[in-house]
Amino acid sequence: MAIAVTVTTNETLSEVQDNAVLDVTFTNSEAFTYAAESTVYYLALLTDSTPVTPLTREVTFSVYHATSGTIAADQTQTFTFENSTSLVPTITGSDGRICYMA
DSSP 38-100: EEEEEEEEEE---SSS--EEEEEEEEEESS-EEEPTT-EEEEEEE-TT---SS-EEEEEEEEE
> What is the identity of the amino acid at 54?
P
Q: Tell me the C-alpha distance between 11 and 39, whole Å.
A: 26
Backbone angles phi, psi at 15, to 5 degrees: -70, -20
Domain boundaries of the chain, sorted by first residue: 2-100
**Spatial separation of the C-alpha atoms in residues 29 and 34, rounded to whole Å:** 16
- In this prediction the pTM is 0.81
Q: Match domain 2-100 to its CATH number in 2.60.40, 2.60.120, 3.40.50, 2.40.30.
A: 2.60.40
What pLDDT is attached to residue 27? 86
pLDDT tens digits, one per residue of 10-52: 455 555 555 577 778 888 888 888 999 999 999 988 888 889 9
Q: Would the pLDDT of 71 be above 80?
A: yes
